[in-house]
Every structure is written in C-alpha cells, then in structure tokens.
Copies of this chain bind each other. A is one copy, B any other.
C-alpha cells in the first residue's frame, strides 16, 4: 500500500491524485468490513466551533469504529469563553495528552498557527469558506464508487459557489484526476477563481451534459440581510434549482450529489432527494469510511 504522510490533514492542496486514490481504496476496504487496531490508545478530541450534525456525528462514528478514545470537549463551555486563543487551547490539549484534534471553525485558515504549536495533529473538519477536505474526499469516493474512474467525467457544480467550502475543495482535485468541471447557479456567485477552473453553463444546458450533478447548499445563514430578503425559495428553485422537469434531462448513468443538509424544493425538488439517481445518503454513509481512512493516515504518519 502507498504510504501517506499526513502529519496534519488540513487542506485539499495537500492531497495529490495518488493520495486521493489511496485514501479511496482504503475507505472502500473499511466499507467492506476491514478493521484496524492500533498498538497504543489514541486520544482524540472533536472541537466543533460551528454547528454540524453530519460531519461531527460522522467523525464520532469513524473514531468509534477505529477504537479511538474520545476525550469530550465542548467549545461553548471551554476557556475559549475566557478569551483563550485557539493556539493555547490546542497546546493545553496536547499537554493533557490529546493526540489528534478534529476541528471545525468559522474562520478561514484557522489552522495555520496550530500546525507547529504542539505535537497534537490537526484534522480540519471545515474552516469558514475555505477548506473541507473530508467532504471533498467522500465526494470523490462516491463518484469513484459509481463510475470506477474519474477520467473524462463531466461534473457540474451548481449553486452558492461563493460561500462553499465544498466547491473549492472538489474542483481542484477533480480536474487533476482527469474530470472536467463546469458551473451553474446565480452568476454573482461565479467568481474569478471558479472561472479559471471551468465554464459557466445555464442550468438547462448543463443537465443533459453531466455525469455528476453536484449541488451546493444555499447557505441562508451566511447571506447578508438584503440578499436574504430579496431571495425567495420558489424563485431560486425555478431559475437555478433541479426541478422534477429538469431532472428528466439527466443521462441515465448520471448521479445527483449534495453535501446536505438539503433545502428541499430550493436546490433540489424534495422528491428527488431519495430518487434512484441521488447519492446524497450514500455520501453520508461513505463519509464514515473515508474519515476512518483519513484518521488512520494521520495516526500512522505521526507514529502515535
């Protein structure tokens, strides 16, 4: 097996195409029942400074399946409320013996000051509008599971690009792995960095072309008040969303993905969430096994 060297796992930029394929292979092995035991107890804390059901619970499950010892940490009841910096918090956890910190934080690049602060390894579970490597990796796994490869696949990424950790993480590696990407949704969200990665295509032109339709959540809680007031769910659905009508234009082999939670009847008609072409709950299921592979890679790289 290829050896992965993730002292920390914080950014999609760290992941080479070879790494991605190695992690996918390992995650698929876990999905098919492989288990892993470690010689020493491994202590992990999950620090979620933003709300999350899926990511938090999925990491807890992955940790449980790997037999890690979870040391509970609640940011809202921590000394962070006494003004302690995140860096001092991690140094504290390190002194206490926490080997690995899984962190979600609203600030982009929050992890940079932490990388050399202590011996505790950092696994980034999402930073602001920046990186979300575990979501990227479970997306790639879900595509690979269906098609068996990436070369030549057409991936349409639709929606709130500007606020999406997921879009940025995914597009880079998808291209390196041989897929082409295109974008749709409100043009205001199609900013320069996306324009460099692939073309903007009207939603009705996009539907019949893609192998993978990757929808993004319209993150209402991140919109400013004016935008939110102007925004109606029905308008969005009719103009940019995947209606029942539009879904009929998909090719038979195409799949629908969404990082969830889905705004039903906004990004996607509610009936399609659990349709045969949807892989939305498969993504969540795969996420546990991918996170096992990522945790294992970090643990092994650190020789805990």
A131 on the interface (CB 8 Å rule)? no
Please pick, from B51, B96, B98, the residue contacting A78 in the complex, using a CB distance under 8 A.
B51
Residue with the highest number of chain B CB atoms closer than 10 Å, among A43, A57, A61: A57
Given contacts A61-B43, A281-B91, contact A73 B98 (CB under 8 A): no
Selecting from A13-21, A248-256, A282-290, the interface stretch reads A282-290
A71 in contact with B78 (CB, 8 Å): no
The copy count of this chain in the complex is: 3
User: Which A31-77 residues have a C-beta within 8 angstroms of B?
Assistant: 41, 43, 45, 48, 51-54, 56-58, 60-61, 64-65, 69, 71-74, 76-77
Q: Is A82 on the interface with B (CB-CB < 8 A)? A: yes
Contact residues of A between 141 and 187, Cβ < 8 Å to B:
none
Evaluate whether A57 and B82 lie within 8 angstroms (CB atoms) in the complex, with A97-B285, A285-B97 already known.
no
Q: Check B97–A288 contact: CB distance below 8 A.
A: yes
- Nearest to A57 among chain B residues (CB) is B96
Q: Given A48-B77, A61-B71, is A54 in contact with B88 using a C-beta cutoff of 8 Å?
A: no
Encoded as 1 (CB less than 8 Å from any B CB) or 0, chain A from 114 to 147 comes to 0000000000000000000000000000000000
Place the interface of chain A in its size category.
Answer: 35 or more
Instruction: Contact check, B43 vs A64: say whether CB atoms are below 8 A apart.
Output: yes
Name A92's contact: one of B45, B57, B60, B65 (CB within 8 Å).
B57
Chain B residues lying within 8 Å of A43, measured Cβ to Cβ, are 61, 64
Asked if A52 contacts B71 (CB within 8 A), the reply is no
Bound together, the chains give a CA A93 to CA B54 distance in angstroms of 8
Whether A80 lies near B93 (C-beta < 8 A) is no
A285 vs B73: C-alpha distance when bound (angstroms): 17
Chain B residues with Cβ below 8 Å from A80 are 53
CB distance from A98 to the nearest CB of B (A): 7
- A residues near B (Cβ < 8 Å) are 41, 43, 45, 48, 51-54, 56-58, 60-61, 64-65, 69, 71-74, 76-84, 88-89, 91-98, 220-221, 260-263, 281-282, 284-285, 287-288
